[in-house]
Homo-oligomer: A and B are copies of this chain.
Amino acid sequence: MTLKDIAASLGVSVNTVSRALADKDSVGEDTRARIKAEAQRLGYVPNSMARSLVLGSAMTLGLVITNPSNPFYSQLISTVEQRGRACGYSLMLLVTEESPEADQRAAEALLRWGVDGALVVPVQSDGQHWERLNESGVPLVLLNRDFPDLALDFVGVDYEHGAYEATRHLIEGGAKSLCLMEEDLPISPVEQRTAGFRRALAEAGIEPSRDPVLSVPTRRRESQALPWEPADAYRLAQDIVAGGDLPDAIMVGNDYFALGVYRALSEAGLRVGEDVLVGGFGDHPFAAYLTPALTTVRLPVAEIGTTAVDVLLKRIQGGTDHQAEKRHERCELAVRASSRATVRASTSEDTTT
């Protein structure tokens, strides 16, 4: 079913049909009605591809994600898709699983498809292809992971501040020797959290003898990146426990690591929230339901998703005049039992996220 078919069936010209269906003026009321009726009858569906070709816009956004299984990103996918569609845009999704090659291929694919713009969580080994894509005229917004040196829009979390606040909270709770467990990816969120953590330590005058920032090795399994494995954090935590000088507070870069830490500690007969305080990142759905409930930094995922889309759309419409803007959205600490030495059980308020 094409415009041509309708036109033929009605004995009018193709573009009268086009205009009638597009509700343009300069079409007789009766003709329009007849055309619409016929279109309905024949089950006409406009061909987006042809339309895009001539219009020069596919009304499509690209979304490049490293790992959809990460709850932060899965929520982002949902938000972005909905916000985009609300503005008339379809979504083309690309998954990179932390592979630099996939990241590069993603940039090419976006260029080929002529998306109107793209939201990108980059594999942060190299950002040149993203810069090039942007220079090719495809507006880009980096999500969550920034290349500070590149003049690309960015929307993400203020991890530095989040880590700082959380660490300070632990210190105020009495912690004197703290450590931070982070995934071993060279990405800006890790850097920022590390910086925030160190700042809090420095401000409190805590000077650990050894580097308090520990790296949890990232593994890969058949085309899947596994950066957030409780098992890996579990092993590292076991080592810490076995190693002798136990910290009295452990920060982790994501809530999944906290699961491993919980287990290692409890197996060693240590009580989380009493012997050792624990703080996480992400406020994943299970965090409030652990025993003890996990203190964690809540990330403004929805804001980030919708803001990113809005920034991108402004870029698409407005052109490329104004400077790149880097937005770091504030996050909020959800205090629960794992960081309150004095409190035994969590209150039910904590569960209503």
Query: Which A residues are closer than 8 A to B by beta carbons?
Result: 43, 45-50, 52-53, 58, 63, 67-69, 71, 74-75, 77-78, 81-82, 85, 90-95, 97, 108-109, 111-114, 136, 223-224, 228, 230-231, 234, 256, 259-260, 262-263, 266-267, 284-286, 288-291, 345, 351-353
CB-based contact B290/A112 at 8 Å: no
Q: What chain B residues lie within 8 Å of A53 (beta carbons)?
A: 47, 49-50, 53
- Asked if B95 and A92 sit within 8 Å, CB to CB, the answer is no
Contact of A45 among B69, B111, B224, B256 (CB under 8 A): B111
Instruction: Identify A285's interface contact among B48, B63, B136, B256, CB under 8 A.
Output: B256
Assuming A45-B112, A69-B74, A267-B345, what are 18 further A-B pairs, CB within 8 angstroms? A43-B136, A47-B53, A49-B113, A49-B114, A53-B53, A67-B78, A68-B68, A69-B75, A78-B97, A82-B97, A91-B92, A230-B288, A231-B353, A259-B285, A259-B289, A260-B289, A263-B289, A290-B290
Of chain B, the residue at the smallest CB distance from A262 is B289
> With A68-B77, A91-B94, A351-B231 as given contacts, are A223 and B82 in contact (CB-CB < 8 Å)?
yes
**Using Cβ atoms and an 8 Å threshold, which residues of chain B touch A50?**
53
Determine how close the nearest CB of chain B comes to the CB of A216; give it in whole angstroms.
14
Contact at A92–B92, with CB atoms within 8 Å? yes
| Chain B residue contacts of A74, Cβ below 8 A | 68-69, 71, 74, 77
Minimum distance in angstroms from A274 CB to a CB of chain B: 15
Q: Whole-angstrom distance between the alpha carbons of A68 and B94 in the complex?
A: 14
Interface pair A48/B289, CB less than 8 Å apart: no
Cα-based distance from A289 to B52 in the complex (angstroms): 50
Q: What distance in Å separates the Cβ of A7 from its nearest Cβ neighbour in chain B? A: 19
As for how many copies of this chain the complex holds, the number is: 2
- The answer to whether B95 and A351 touch across the interface, beta carbons within 8 angstroms, is no
Write the nearest CB–CB distance from A87 to chain B, whole angstroms.
14
Q: Which single residue of chain B is at the shortest CB-CB distance from A67?
A: B78
Complex: chain B residue closest to A352, CB-CB: B231
What residues of chain B lie closer than 8 Å to A256, measured between beta carbons? 285-286
CB–CB B114/A93 < 8 A: no
Residues of chain B with a CB closer than 8 A to A259's CB? 285-286, 289
Q: Enumerate chain B residues within 8 angstroms of A82, measured Cβ to Cβ.
A: 95, 97, 223
Closest to A259 in B: B289
Chain B residue at minimum C-beta to C-beta distance from A78: B68
The distance in angstroms between the C-alpha atoms of A267 and B293, with both chains bound, is 13
A29 to B263, CA, bound (A): 65
Closest to A76 in B: B68
In the bound assembly, the distance between CA atoms of A149 and B286 in angstroms comes to 37
Chain B neighbourhood of A109, CB < 8 A: 90
CB-CB under 8 A from A291, the residues of chain B are 262-263, 266, 291
Chain B residue at minimum C-beta to C-beta distance from A231: B351
Q: Please name all residues of chain B whose beta carbon is closer than 8 Å to the beta carbon of A113 when the two chains form the complex.
A: 48-49, 90
Are A78 and B95 touching (Cβ within 8 A)?
A: yes
* A68 contacts across to B, CB distance below 8 A: 68, 74-75, 77-78, 81
* Interchain CB contact under 8 A, B47 and A112: yes
Q: CA–CA, A73 to B45, complex, Å?
A: 30
What are 20 A-B interface contacts by the 8 Å CB criterion?
A45-B108, A46-B112, A47-B53, A47-B114, A48-B112, A48-B114, A49-B53, A53-B53, A68-B75, A68-B78, A69-B71, A69-B78, A78-B224, A90-B94, A91-B94, A92-B92, A230-B289, A231-B353, A259-B285, A290-B290
